[in-house]
Amino acid sequence: MPQPLLRVQALLDLTWRYSAGSHFTRFFQALKDDGVILALRCPACRRVYLPPRPVCGNCFRRMEEWVPVGPRGTLRAFTVVHFPFLDPTTGQPRPVPFGMGLIQLDGADTTLNHYLDETDLGRLRLGLRVEAVFREPREGNMGDIRLFRVLAP
Amino acid sequence: MTGAVIIGVGQTAYEPAKPSQAIPEMVLEAVERALGDARIGMEAIDAVVTASVDLWDGRTASNIQVTEVVGAVMKPEARVAGDGLLAAIHAAMTVGAGAYGTVLVAAHCKMSEGQHWTCSSWAVDPICQQPLGLDFLSAAGLQARAYEQRHGVGASHWARVVEKNARSARANPLAPRGPDRSAADVLASSVIADPLRALDAAPATDGACVLILASPERARSLGSDTPVALLGAGYACEAHYLGDRDLTATDALGAASGRAYTMAGIDSPLRDIQVVECSEAFSYQELLWSEGLGLCPPGEGARLLEEGVTQPGGRLPVNPSGGMLGGSPFVVAGLARLAEAVLQVRGDAAGRQVGGVRRAIAHGTHGPAGQHHSVVVVGA
Amino acid sequence: MKWRRRVAVIGTGQTVHARKRDDVSQQEMVREAARRALADAEMTARDIDAVVIANMELFEGRALPELWCAEGAAGAGKPVLKIATGGTSGTSGAIAGALQVASGMFDTVLVVGFEKQSEGQTTAGMALTDPMWDRHVASAAIGNFALSISQYMAARGVTEEQAARVAVKARRNAARNPYAHLQQPGLTVEQVLASSVLAWPVHMLEMCPTSDGACALVYAAEDVARRKCATPAWVRAVATRHDQPYIGDLDMRLLTMRTLRSAAREAYAQAGITEPLKQLDVAEIYEPVSYAELAWYEALGFCPEGEAGRLIEDGVTAMDGELPVNPSGGVLSTNPIGASGVIRTAEAALQIHGKGDTRQVDGASLALVTGYGVYAWSDVLILSSDPG
């Protein structure tokens, strides 16, 4: 086995200032000011999209019709994570276990990937009703939705 | 002949920042303009080639964010992580191969969102050069000094390139608004990487450029009435370590342009070409790239400029759009040069039109001190 | 397929893939694969007209890495271009190289895919997702797959045991591949299911590793290929589909997988394949997790919907089955991201070349390659000993 080579270390320290753009700005404004989750409807296929974006990718049509969705929804997928992934919001490994799901908010056609307040697999199944739990006070970013609470049947 | 023609061009305005736009909506603007220019709908696009660099965008797989706006949903797309002109050349090859009848090429960069020079240090090898603090700026400083020492052409000459291109940019409705820059202004600006001064460097800008390529047959069936042929293309990459290169020579550029000229049947650019759009990230580079493009012998780029040859009204105008110095972002620059070259051939270069253009050159580059070059010849 | 001219893979080469290739720099790692591919094609660097590099540079914390690493691939002075499309980078690069030769611009192209994740911070690279939306959850590929798998399991009834069999097949196949990263000749279903759960229901031993490695292909135009290679692996079809940018956009991702279905349909039509299970001799498909391979069986038409579990249980895709899938061990055994798609292509090509050694599928002459990346991007290539 050849000798390991010497290593040169370098620290990548970069800052990016991302523009939210008009669609996310409107979305976050509604979230912050009114506690409302907004989605966009494609004029052609009528699909209701979360998150908002300039065009429906299937139809290549600009979307301008904003529709409120949620805050309740249906669980369309779930998992319980045991691996401490890097949490991009903290830069630290996220404490495990944590529940995650794909939630279809009432009125939306796409699903939202978010945390669940449930980590017991025995109590998770597709079709459960869930509700967004907001952070107070709201700041106008995705963190304003802290997680989804599984509703009692 | 590469087997491809260009049937549509779309560019956003280039601005120091576009804070109200996220990348997808910025790119969408250029896409819609290109589709409108080609008079086709997105359903007519067979495939997409994008150009963007993850580190500049601060996003892994930076083409994910533009998938929907470039029409790549349920279509073939490939991303070339480098200068946009290279993406156009690759797209032309896919058309020439017979794989696709139409290809949309999109390049974007929002330099305002990142840190250009710092990012560029991560494009330099991590073992020998990056630890020394080498980045695209310091590499350019080294190249500029080497050029000056070899040819006796220095800052006062390069400053005139800035003057020329800044004035040209004022005639380009897409270039950022800015004051005229005289050579004196350039020489009075602060040193950033000796012998280069602040105004010798292309400004950081945000923008997107989209071109639509097609096979000649498909262009006809789509009713395109102004297809511009991609007559020749070439690209080449030099050695990476600066010490392995002669920074005053233009080996990769010579190889790239030689290839493009052979394909296009160009013997003498000065005689056979009517306009050149090159990517001069720094003022001295317009002189050096002019030599590498074979417009003049080595060291004579400044003479060409002083004799008025490369001025807007001259025999072979270089960068009537204002070039990169006029405001053209990293990654987008080469594709924007091609867009400008196409507009020139079509007679559509409002405000910056050169008379009697039959053939034009577009050039793109990336890497430290022009390590990689792409050259395209277009014509009616 | 009305390509301007025929193209074939005439040589392949790869590094020994490992968790950490501490013995080589990125450039040297690229060279290891390139040198082997050139030797396999009986060519020298001079014979190569252009180079395509496939790599997801953010995982090494780099930008424009081909400027440095292409020298290891005979790239200095040559036309060099880098393709980067997430997990599909390798197959994207493989398709790009083939198209470049087909165009007539170059007669020979060397494609090298590489990744040296041990030199960067993959987790940091993976965290640079959409800053407005995706970045608020610590999901990563495993979490995302687990979510999609919960839908797939519920709809198709696949069991954890069936999925574990995919991992067992992969790692046992890998044991006969001298280049593979994870070689586990004695792996059992019980061991897979006993390994720690990463994100339910995915166990550690059925998820792909992170690997350092490189893989290279030499493409040649028809006249060169016929001259240089006894059995060129002709490119009979290529197809690519990308999809919408958020996981939530994709309806029941593993079940529908519209990109793979559509790309396969197009590729099969181009290559005249109507019964893939019967007609294909070997398949190298991109399976980041065990369940994905089952979903791909259905999407690729190897079996009717819901029958993927039966396919693996019946050994149809084992080395001695009707259609060996991933004799190399697949992505489940080796995953240097930028290289993985090139490895699939190379492994399919070398089967046709008859150079599969102890993993050779006898008489392999028609091969399927797939690439997968991001949430649901798909590439499909078909290689054949028959130029068509």
Query: Per-residue pLDDT averaged across C368-387, rounded?
Result: 97
In a domain? residue B86: yes
Are B67 and C258 within 8 A, CB to CB? no
Mean pLDDT (chain B) is 97
- C344 by DSSP, 3-state: which? helix
> How does pLDDT run across C285-339, given as a tens digit for each residue?
999 999 999 999 999 999 999 999 999 999 999 999 999 999 999 999 999 999 9
- Residue C375 pLDDT grade (very low, low, confident, very high; cuts 50, 70, 90): very high
DSSP A2: P
**What was the pLDDT predicted at B307?**
97
Query: Considering its fold, how many domains does chain A have in total?
Result: 1
**Is B217 found in the same domain as B96?**
yes
| Of C194 and A2, more confident | C194
- Domain of B85, CATH number, reads 3.40.47.10
**Is B274 found in the same domain as B241?**
yes
- Which of A12, A16, A23 faces B113 most closely, judged by CB atoms? A16
In a domain? residue A4: no
Phi, psi of B305 (to 5 degrees): -70, -45
Are A53 and B68 within 8 A, CB to CB? yes
Q: What is the DSSP string of A12-53?
A: ---------HHHHHHHHHHHHHH--EEEEE-TTT--EESS--
How far, in Å, are B273, B311, B374, C152 from residue B164 at the CA level? 20, 7, 23, 63
> How does pLDDT run across A126-153, given as a tens digit for each residue?
999 999 999 999 999 999 999 999 998 7
Give me the residue label for tokens 């106008």: A140
- Which of A14, A24, A55 faces B68 most closely, judged by CB atoms? A55
- Residue B16 pLDDT grade (very low, low, confident, very high; cuts 50, 70, 90): very high
Give me the residue label for tokens 């002949």: B1
In what helix (H) or strand (E) does residue A128 lie, and over which residues does it extend? none
Residue B64 structural domain: 5-115+204-226
Residues of C in contact with B79 (CB under 8 A): 83-85, 92
Are C199 and A81 within 8 A, CB to CB? yes
> How does pLDDT run across B116-147, given as a tens digit for each residue?
999 999 999 999 999 999 999 999 999 999 99
Please state, in angstroms and rounded to a whole number, the distance separating the CA atoms of residues A140 and B181. Answer: 42
How far, in Å, are B226, C86, C182, C222 from residue B340 at the CA level? 14, 31, 52, 37
Residue C1 reports pLDDT greater than 60: no
Q: Which of A17, A26, A79 to mutate to test the interface with C (most CBs of C within 10 A)?
A: A79
**What was the pLDDT predicted at A88?**
83
**First-residue to last-residue Cα distance in chain A:** 61
- Residue A1 pLDDT grade (very low, low, confident, very high; cuts 50, 70, 90): low
Query: Per-residue pLDDT averaged across B46-73, rounded?
Result: 96
Query: Which CATH fold would you assign to the domain C7-120+211-228?
Result: Peroxisomal Thiolase; Chain A, domain 1 (3.40.47)
In a domain? residue B185: no
Are B74 and A58 within 8 A, CB to CB? yes
Chains with 3+ CB–CB pairs under 8 A to C are A, B
**What was the pLDDT predicted at A85?**
87
Query: Per-residue pLDDT averaged across B30-52, rounded?
Result: 98
Domain coordinates of chain C in residue numbers?
7-120+211-228, 123-208+236-384
> How does pLDDT run across C5-45, given as a tens digit for each residue?
999 999 999 999 999 999 999 999 999 999 999 999 999 99
Query: Per-residue pLDDT averaged across A26-55, rounded?
Result: 97
Are B67 and C243 within 8 A, CB to CB? yes
Hey, which residues 140-159 in chain C have their CB within 8 Å of chain A?
140, 142-144, 146-151, 154
How far, in Å, are B203, C120, C121, C387 from residue B115 at the CA level? 13, 20, 20, 49
Residue A120 structural domain: 21-150
Assigned token pair, A43: 């004029």
Residue C173 reports pLDDT greater than 70: yes
In a domain? residue A6: no
Assigned token pair, A49: 């999209």
**Is B155 found in the same domain as B72?**
no
How far, in Å, are B105, B145, B195, C263 from residue C120 at the CA level? 31, 34, 35, 33
Q: What is the DSSP string of C50-114?
A: EEEEE--GGGGT-SSTHHHHGGGGT-TTS-EEEE-BTBTHHHHHHHHHHHHHHTTS-SEEEEEEE
In a domain? residue B122: no
Mean pLDDT (chain C) is 96
**Is B45 found in the same domain as B107?**
yes
- Which of C137, C151, C249 faces A77 most closely, judged by CB atoms? C151
In a domain? residue A9: no
Please state, in angstroms and rounded to a whole number, the distance separating the CA atoms of residues B187 and C320. Answer: 75
DSSP A106: T
- Which of B21, B22, B118 faces A14 most closely, judged by CB atoms? B118
> How does pLDDT run across B204-213, given as a tens digit for each residue?
999 999 999 9
Task: Provide the shortest C-alpha distance from residue C164 to chain B (in Å).
Answer: 30
**Is B239 found in the same domain as B222?**
no
CATH code linked to domain C123-208+236-384: 3.40.47.10
Q: What is the DSSP string of C160-191?
A: HHHHHHHHHHHHHHHTT-TT-S---TT--HHH
Cis peptide bond upstream of A71, omega within 30: yes
**Is B294 found in the same domain as B166?**
yes
**Size (chain B), residues:** 380
Residue of C nearest to B96 (CA): C103
In a domain? residue A2: no
**Is B351 found in the same domain as B219?**
no
Are A54 and B130 within 8 A, CB to CB? no
Is A83 in CB contact (< 8 Å) with chain B?
no
Residue C228 reports pLDDT greater than 90: yes
Query: Considering its fold, how many domains does chain B have in total?
Result: 2
Are C198 and A18 within 8 A, CB to CB? no
**Is B148 found in the same domain as B74?**
no
* C123-208+236-384 matches C7-120+211-228 in CATH topology: yes
Please state, in angstroms and rounded to a whole number, the distance separating the CA atoms of residues A64 and A42. Answer: 8
- Residue C251 pLDDT grade (very low, low, confident, very high; cuts 50, 70, 90): confident
> How does pLDDT run across B321-361, given as a tens digit for each residue?
999 999 999 999 999 999 999 999 999 999 999 999 999 99
**Cβ atoms C82, C54 nearer than 8 A:** yes
**What was the pLDDT predicted at A2?**
65
SS (H, E, C) chain B: CCCCEEEEEEECCCECCCCCCCHHHHHHHHHHHHHHHHCCCHHHCCEEEEECCHHHHCCCCCCHHHCCCCCCECCCEEEECCCHHHHHHHHHHHHHCCCCCEEEEEEEEEHHHCCHHHHHHCCCCCCCCHHHCCCHHHHHHHHHHHHHHHHCCCHHHHHHHHHHHHHHHHCCCCCCCCCCCCHHHHHHCCEEECCEEHHHECCCCEEEEEEEEECHHHHHHCCCCCCEEEEEEEEEECCCCHHHCCCCCCHHHHHHHHHHHHHHCCCCHHHHCCEEECCCCEHHHHHHHHHHCCCCCCCCHHHHHHCCCCCCCCCCCECCCCCCCCCCCCCCHHHHHHHHHHHHHHCCCCCCCCCCCCEEEEEEEECCCCCEEEEEEEEC
**Is B209 found in the same domain as B158?**
no
Please state, in angstroms and rounded to a whole number, the distance separating the CA atoms of residues C271 and C381. Answer: 10
In a domain? residue A42: yes
Chains with 3+ CB–CB pairs under 8 A to B are A, C
In a domain? residue A15: no
Query: Per-residue pLDDT averaged across B182-198, rounded?
Result: 97
Task: Provide the shortest C-alpha distance from residue C146 to chain A (in Å).
Answer: 6
In a domain? residue A26: yes
**Cβ atoms C346, C220 nearer than 8 A:** no
Cα R_g (chain B), whole angstroms = 19
- A142 by DSSP, 3-state: which? helix
* Pick from B347, B363, B365: nearest CA to B355: B347
* % of chain C at pLDDT higher than 90: 92
**Is B210 found in the same domain as B276?**
no
In chain A, the largest separation of any two C-alpha atoms, in whole Å, equals: 63
Are A51 and C133 within 8 A, CB to CB? yes
* Pick from B328, B189, B321, B239: nearest CA to C74: B239
**What was the pLDDT predicted at C127?**
82
> How does pLDDT run across C83-92, given as a tens digit for each residue?
999 999 999 9
Give me the residue label for tokens 């080497």: B146
* Pick from C295, C363, C355, C297: nearest CA to C325: C297
**Is B323 found in the same domain as B265?**
yes
Angle at B348 between CA B345 and CA B351, to 5 degrees: 115
**Cβ atoms C286, C263 nearer than 8 A:** no
- Which of B2, B55, B92 faces C58 most closely, judged by CB atoms? B55
- Which of C140, C146, C150 faces A126 most closely, judged by CB atoms? C150
In a domain? residue A3: no
Are B99 and C67 within 8 A, CB to CB? no
- Residue C126 pLDDT grade (very low, low, confident, very high; cuts 50, 70, 90): confident
**Cβ atoms B117, B166 nearer than 8 A:** no
DSSP C211: -
Are B97 and C103 within 8 A, CB to CB? yes
**Is B336 found in the same domain as B254?**
yes
- C334 by DSSP, 3-state: which? coil
Query: Per-residue pLDDT averaged across A68-91, rounded?
Result: 93
**Cβ atoms B25, B69 nearer than 8 A:** yes
